[in-house]
Chains A and B, each alone.
Chain A
């Protein structure tokens, strides 16, 4: 088996766009143009292949339709390899593969960024802030094992960073949620019993099993453990989710009275608003959402929830 040398006259098409190409080509002599449509702008674009360069690799290796047309601009000779032949050649010259890996890695990152831009959720954050926000996400969602690691990574890379002191505080808090944070034992083995039942309650809560979650949160709340306050809030939310709006309003109002400075007050206010909304009292619901919004921080999960709810309600009124 050996590659075939194929001659193309100027203006000849080596392969068409959308063609199932099974060859990897190396330009031996001449000039070849790869003509393609830029997926972002829709404009026709072209890359010129120089002698010794490869083309057709992605479509041949992946058995995908080609996304470009290969055209000989002058009389050219190309070496056509089957995938098997190409792999044999590349195996004895891994520098080729490494070079291609870098090119593809760049292409992949570029298209990934374009996709993220379209999704409008991939706002390009500065890495420092982005990394801190990963920790914050886990922290706000009580996934303290993950938040602690994320903040520790933040401090490794940005020891004097903008969020360093906050990251340190949150690491201390996150670690306090573990009986033995540095234990190399099994993950649940190092947790105290009430933490374990709180995370179990949260699992039920997050999976929508509110009846089971309510039972566990009630138990934790009565135990007066350190999760007691948050459990009081969750009890109110579980009651709302179970359709018991008036009981939920009572519990959530009580939570705010007793924990006026808690981080979770905006969430409690939001769910009181939800109770009113479910009773079709939109005016009162909006006033609670607005109060919740004014007290919440944009980094809190509930902030987005409130903003979206308000937007929908206000949109519906127009």
Chain B
């Protein structure tokens, strides 16, 4: 996406590493486009600060609160020296109308976010803990979040995620996640390496999760 943003230079703001750009729960009145540097999206769960995502140049944030005039849903912290373009509701519409490519990019971003959240919802509604964790691996594979794969011939997928990451996606504690993964490892369904997790056959995981989900749905009916 090649955009001429020079006319928006007057909206540029800079932040140092560690600076809070906005806080979760703050009323939202501005929207940002990253020109340089990185920002991290963090959420505080109880007494733990979790980095939900890291955004790079060309990416947006803060647009949801602006569109709905609702409180911010996460805290944003500069991860680098950052240069951002800051828009308010009035110039957001001007920016979008004058930059359809940017508006379309935002539209695509929303569709991705909706898909990701729906997928996560499906994982969380599985009752069976083993199936829940298997489904996390399936989801990470579906969204392309893995190191390498050989699904066609063997079903193998290699991930760089930690146990904490898997636990986070499954909505459980690492203490609950660890024994399940150990068990998978004993059953040779996965290999636990110090910096990676290898799923031996993701298709088998898919089959098991589908079967658990069907069984769960039939019980609920």
Binding site for B on A (CB under 8 A): 39-40, 42, 57-58, 61-62, 64, 67, 87, 90-92, 94-95, 97-98, 100-102, 104-109, 111-112, 114-115, 118-119, 121-122, 125, 127-128, 130-131, 133-135, 137, 140-141, 145-146, 149-150, 153, 157, 186-187, 301, 304-305
Contact = CB atoms under 8 A, between A and B. Distances in A.
A100 B45 CA distance: 31
Contacts of A145: 18-19
Contacts of A157: 26-27
Most chain-A CB neighbours within 10 Å: which of B64, B75, B107?
Answer: B107
A80 B218 CA distance: 37
B25 A125 contact: yes
B12 interface: no
B140 interface: no
Interface string B4-28: 0000000000001111101111110
Given A101-B103, A118-B121, A121-B46, A61 B111 contact: yes
Nearest to B45: A121
Contact of B111 (A58, A95, A187): A58
A187 B25 contact: no
Contact of B23 (A57, A111, A125, A131): A131
Given A61-B107, A97-B103, A134 B125 contact: no
A150 B93 CA distance: 28
B111 A64 contact: yes
Contacts of B96: 94, 97-98, 101
Contact of A137 (B49, B103, B104): B49
A186 B101 CA distance: 36
B131 to A, nearest CB: 15
A190 B44 CA distance: 27
A111 B114 contact: yes
Contacts of A121: 45-46
Contacts of A118: 121, 124-125, 171
Contacts of A125: 25
B108 A62 contact: yes
Contact of A111 (B27, B97, B103, B117): B117
Interface string B199-221: 00000000000000000010010
A91 B100 contact: yes
Contact of A131 (B24, B114, B120, B171): B24
B48 to A, nearest CB: 9
A70 B16 CA distance: 49
| Top-8 shortest CB links A-B | A130-B25, A91-B100, A104-B110, A62-B111, A131-B25, A301-B47, A97-B103, A118-B124
Contacts of B188: none
B25 A107 contact: no
Given A40-B121, A134-B23, A146-B77, 16 more contacts: A39-B122, A57-B107, A90-B100, A97-B96, A97-B100, A101-B106, A101-B110, A102-B67, A107-B114, A108-B114, A111-B117, A118-B121, A125-B25, A127-B71, A130-B24, A137-B44
Contacts of A119: 45, 124, 171
A95 B101 CA distance: 13
A196 B132 CA distance: 43
10 contacts: A61-B111, A94-B97, A97-B107, A104-B107, A115-B121, A121-B45, A125-B25, A127-B25, A130-B71, A153-B22
B70 interface: yes
A114 B77 CA distance: 25
Contacts of A137: 44, 47, 49
Most chain-A CB neighbours within 10 Å: which of B96, B103, B122?
Answer: B103
Contacts of B20: 146, 149-150, 153
Contacts of A92: 100
